[in-house]
Chain A
Amino acid sequence: MDHKFVFEGIGTKWVINLYQLNRGVELKNLEKAILDRVEKFDKDYSRFRQDSWVWKLSQNPGLYHLPPDGKKMFDIYSKLYQATGGKFTPMIGDLISATGYDHLYSFVSKNVSTLKSWDEVLAVKGADIEIFSTALLDFGAAGKGYLVDILTDLLKEYSNSFSINASGDIYAFNCTEKVGLENPFDTSQVVGVVDIKNMSIAGSATNRRVWGKYHHIFDPTTLESTAGVVAVWVIANEAIIADAIATCLFLVGPEDLNEFDFEYLILDSKMEARYSKGFQGALFSVTN
């Protein structure tokens, strides 16, 4: 009695497969609970809507209360900001917007300039955050993965076997999903397959969100989109980690990210792959 729930959320397509439902669960209640939680997350962290918490912080300095799930978000961003020497930063929202991928989807570049540092912009103080100097924060690098984890915890109340696919960030709970690794140069193909069970995989690539000379992953030290790496997949216990690390691997090498536990596969523009020892799956190449 499999049930598939497809919806749009935080700017992309979600597919939840329910392979089992606990006794007494009504699907419409479950679906509503999911959509409500997705909307709350969007209203907190989206830089695309002017009624969001992130938009409010971008307008005025001051002391603001963090959303309950905010502490973990800033904690991970802080660790990766330090590990990447500031290349992985929530302040990237200002740069992405300036190059055109703004809340109006104007795709016109204006006022591209260096980003403020973490300490210039904000400090987390317990359940609050102080904004010293405004910036448009963007949590796209880890937000989708975080929401996968949040919905996983929610779904465990309703189902003992399900998977969530947030457009490439996948968590499989008590089931095995055979995940094809999409070829960024030809999306009718996959370059490999990996089994995911009670783990998360995040996929990132530069082929879709493209405008002018830019794609959506930026290096704040060059003020340009990154070059060289075209696709990354990361496997970790939590989707927030998989998602965040996947973005980091466009900016730094895996050796810089030792504090975290993950497996990875990096594909470059020459169709060469580099992968961690524990990244287990099939990878297709000319000789096999």
Chain B
Amino acid sequence: MTIEVGLGLWSMQATAFAPAGWPAMYAALADEAREVEALGFDGMWFAEHHFWYDGWCPQPVVAAAVAAAATSTLRVGTAMHLLPQHDPVEVARMATTLHRLSGGRLDLGFGLGYRDAEFDGVGLEIRRRGTRMDHGLDHLAEHWGATATGRAASAPRVMVGGLAPKAIERAAKRGLGLLLPPSLRATEVATALANARLIAAQHNTSVGRIGMMIDVWLDDDGDCAREFFIPRLRTHYKEYAGAWWQIKGRPGFEVPDSLERQMDRSAAAMVVGNVDEVTARLVELAEVGIDVFGLQIQSDVTRDRWRDVAANLAKRVVPTLKAVAA
């Protein structure tokens, strides 16, 4: 399977730490997509959340349409589209439209969602998210005319997010791809993939693409990369982890020590360093089966900063990564 490397995540957030105008961010989307394509990346990934002060994009398929129109080969994807929070009929309508308009370049990474407020805002119960995810995936498969043993040739590629056995089974038995969390070590990826392949075989199907969205930063001096990026990303994650996550049954900000330990785990999953360090970690993941990479470089950093990193990644890391034969 050809390894694909894309960039992410576009969320168009105007945070307290990186304020910006929503009109300007959306106005820049088309040019940024062209830039990502011109650098040779395979994809551009869009995130989703709802009802948050910073305007986190709530409709990634709509935003991805801009990128698709501005480019001709770049794939556009969602990581993740929170399928249980949406009406699957609407998801089918929107995804089918963009898949057709883009000439078949849409990737749909679906996640369960974890914020009670998002479910409650549209009249749903979070405890039913698994059932809603199953129902949504089945509706989409039926809509796109998938057979029991394969995927419809003209349907968007679907990857299911998560690591739990239920998530792996959900994807594998339907012949869908997986979108694995970046916290996994290479050995854990290999185990997850082996389980998925076994389940898929039991259902007379095969697993789709195996993706991972990973925070990445690159500098000639690895220590400079770590000094610049890790604190910024910790702050970026801590804001919504503290506000949204329930840690041991309590809001994250109310348990600061536990929150910091969560941030330590997030930082450990980041791939930050010089060319050799970054390449080695990504190649390790490719060798155990990750074949769709979303390199997350676009969080609370200026465009000038991330475009330099993107250019360096494209030139000095991606060719080696793509040469890996899993």
Chains A and B come from one and the same complex: no
